[in-house]
Amino acid sequence: MSLQLLFAVVILLAATIPTIHGEDDLRNNNNNYDNGNYALTSSTHKSLLIAAGCFWCAEQAYEQYAPGVIEVVSGYAGSDGIESPTYRNHPGHYEVILIEYDPNSTSYELLLQYAWRNLDPFDQYGQFCDRGFSYQSALFYANEEEMLIAEQVRSEVLDLHPDWDNESVVVPLLERPFFWRAEGYHQDYYIKNPWNYEYYKERCGRTKRLKEVWGEEQYNCYHDLELSCFNKTAVNEDGVSIEAVVNVKNAPEESGKVRGAPVWGIIVAVVFAVGVLCLLVVGFMTPSCKKKLSIEEGKDESVVEKEAADLP
């Protein structure tokens, strides 16, 4: 092999290294974060990955109520997941959200506190009405420092609830995998489709169950645009208490009303009802038509027989 050819092979291999994601990439990329196929809006920002059931609801909870959040992106992540997952095909993946945040305005620790208050820690088979592996909860860490913080926050949660059995709290703390961004129609779903979103969230029982687990007061503290429980402040990663900023997209607050079925649901129901009615009408008419036809055929046969009898 010539030196020129060897040099070309080395350059080619070197160029492909940054595209390989896995455990080595997780440990060696910038800040030990693997943002997958999402690019942070600023080099000074950081990100956090959590799985808290349906990513529509988790995205809304963080974008509206958590301080210092810049952007939340719905997606898929799992150490045993397939490449290029989609909503229709993502075995081995959790539904997750990637939370881009400003460490000068909030912290990994504080955002984990919000994560706990937005999941059911006792459900090992999914979250709320959604069942299956992809809807199970999980909190991810990108390095040893974050792992220690995640363990500390978990301990603090258990200390606040001494009546909880440690073994019954089934939220795993996992090393952060590669993040795959979900399809565009899933992003900002609560803003683009408020009626459908609120109908789903209410029928799924998310808010009701969170209040049962955490209590009404604690739920309201972590879902409050005024941050009244925290004096409108947040502690950043330097340990400095600053004025908190929430709801960066200025999304309208939830109505709190029990939503009726969305328009598409009403249309489907009407079409289904009409279809069933048509089947019933056809089913009712068919025997009558057959009976009438039989009678007519019987009359015809009688007439033929009578005419035959009258023949000389």
Query: 66-121 pLDDT, tens per residue?
Result: 999 999 999 999 999 999 999 999 999 999 999 999 999 999 999 999 999 999 99
Q: What is residue 255's predicted lDDT score, i.e. its pLDDT?
A: 73
181 beta partners? 75
Q: What is residue 266's predicted lDDT score, i.e. its pLDDT?
A: 54
Task: Evaluate if residue 189 carries a pLDDT over 70.
Answer: yes
Q: What is residue 253's predicted lDDT score, i.e. its pLDDT?
A: 84
Task: Evaluate if residue 19 carries a pLDDT over 80.
Answer: no
**Measured at the alpha carbon of residue 248, what is the angle toward residues 244 and 250, in degrees to the nearest 5?**
120
Closest CA to 77 of 157, 142, 127: 142
Q: What is residue 36's predicted lDDT score, i.e. its pLDDT?
A: 87
Could you give the CA distance from residue 65 to residue 254 in angstroms, rounded to a whole number? 12
Q: Which residues are catalytic?
A: 54
In single-letter form, the type of residue at position 169 comes to: V
What's the pLDDT tens digit per position in 204-258? 999 999 999 999 999 999 999 999 999 999 999 999 999 999 999 999 888 766 5
Q: Which class for 84: exposed (0-12), middle (13-18), buried (19 or more C-beta within 10 A)?
A: exposed
